[in-house]
Amino acid sequence: MKPKVLITAKEVHELIPYYLKELGYETEHLPEPTEATLLQTIQDYEGLIITTYTKVNQKVLDQARRLKFVGRVGAGLENVDLIAAKNIGVEVFNSPEGNANAVGEHALSLLLNLMNKINISHQEVLKGIWNREENRGEELDGKTVGIIGLGNAGSAFARKLRGFDVEVLAYDKFRNNYGTDFIKESSIQEIANQADIISFHIPYSKDNHHIINDDFISKLKKQIYLIQTSRGAIMDTAATLKHLKSGSIKALGIDVYEDEPWTKGKYVKASIYEELLSLPQVIATPHIAGWTQESKIKLANVLMEKIKAFVLSQK
């Protein structure tokens, strides 16, 4: 009997089951199972392929008697208990390289849309409203852009900015000597003092829960454009709403949320999201920054190359 891999990703590129079968695995597809269902079935599998919404916690791993690897299609690993996995010898792989370019492009798209009031003016034109002066935009050239987190996605966003006459400041707690001729290595305080635009590109951890909070925003020296394509829980939604209403934050481009979808209202009241999303200076997308036709292929290829190398090393 062939060993089996469970795929819980709702939509998965055909390359993933193809490569797994080439490696000798039988694959089964169970989109976004509940924890109870996963607990009942996980003992049958040597591999698990997940996206954002499958939680591989201690309870699941305790039942995973045959499990050898977990593959995350995407970047964030906050839904996997990495310590528990390591303790039982389960390898965990992700593929942040696969959608970095997509995230960089999306972040820039949100920013340019906000600065040029494209969404606002589009909605007005549909209603026959012709506000030219009220929709006068701002140019990106001459601005200072702060990037917090210069990993795969943050670096991709920085590369997209090369076509503009901007100063790029970057902070990354996990790296040293990452400054270039285009990127100035900076502290968070320097970014807070100088930036006209701040874009976050960091993984989630307990240490940076609500790093975008009332204290952080209160220390900003300028009215900023805030771009949030990182992880939902790094931003305090209620505090951000307060500062958007006061004008401390000029505009917000957001792709990730504390609740997904926001209508769940588990961590933040739905009424707070409703008020936030109703503001004209907010553009929101449904966690699609890394979700392009091209990234779907890249994510699959990157992940499977890592899993293939691991599986072959075990033989």
Summarize pLDDT for 114-133 with one digit per residue, the tens.
999 999 999 999 999 999 99
Nearest to 57 by CA among 70, 68, 73: 70
Whether 12 has a pLDDT exceeding 90, the answer reads: no
pLDDT band at 169; cut points 50, 70, 90: very high
What CATH number has the domain spanning 99-284?
A: 3.40.50.720
CB 157 within 8 A of CB 108: yes
Question: Nearest 5°: phi and psi at 201?
Answer: -145, 60
Count of other CB atoms within 10 angstroms of residue 33: 17
In sequence order, which ranges of the chain are alpha helices (DSSP H)?
Answer: 15-22, 35-41, 58-63, 82-87, 96-115, 118-126, 152-160, 188-194, 214-218, 237-246, 270-278, 293-313
pLDDT at 1: 81
Euclidean distance between CA atoms 90 and 208, whole angstroms? 26
Q: Are 45 and 277 in contact (CB under 8 A)?
A: no
What stretch of H or E contains 199? strand 197-200
Taking the CA of residue 23 as centre, how many other CA atoms within 13 Å lie in the half-sphere pointing to its CB?
Answer: 25
Cα 152 to its chain centre, rounded Å, is: 11
Q: Summarize the confidence of residues 210-225 as an average pLDDT.
A: 97
pLDDT on residue 53: 85
* Cβ atoms of residues 195 and 145 within 8 Å: yes
Closest CA to 49 of 84, 88, 18, 87: 18
Distance CA 47, CA 220 (A): 46
Cα 29 to its chain centre, rounded Å, is 24
Reported as a single tens digit per residue, the pLDDT across 271-309 is 999 999 999 999 999 999 999 999 999 999 999 999 999
- Round the average pLDDT of the chain to a whole number and report it: 95
3-state class percentages of the chain: helix first, strand second, coil last, to nearest 5: 45, 15, 40
pTM: 0.92
Neighbours of 100 (CB within 10 A): 24
Residue 315, pLDDT > 90, answer no
Q: According to the model, what pLDDT value does residue 188 have?
A: 95
For 22-70, the pLDDT digits (tens) are: 999 999 999 989 999 999 999 999 999 998 889 999 999 999 999 999 9
Q: What is the pLDDT of residue 10?
A: 83
CA distances from 113 to 116, 130, 258, 280 (A): 5, 18, 23, 12
Q: Which CATH superfamily is domain 4-94+294-313 in?
A: NAD(P)-binding Rossmann-like Domain (3.40.50.720)
Residues belonging to the chain = 315
Range(s) within the chain of domains with CATH label 3.40.50.720: 4-94+294-313, 99-284
Q: Say which DSSP state 53 is in.
A: T
pLDDT tens digit sequence for 62-105: 999 999 999 999 988 989 999 999 999 999 999 999 999 999 99
- Name residue 286's amino acid: P
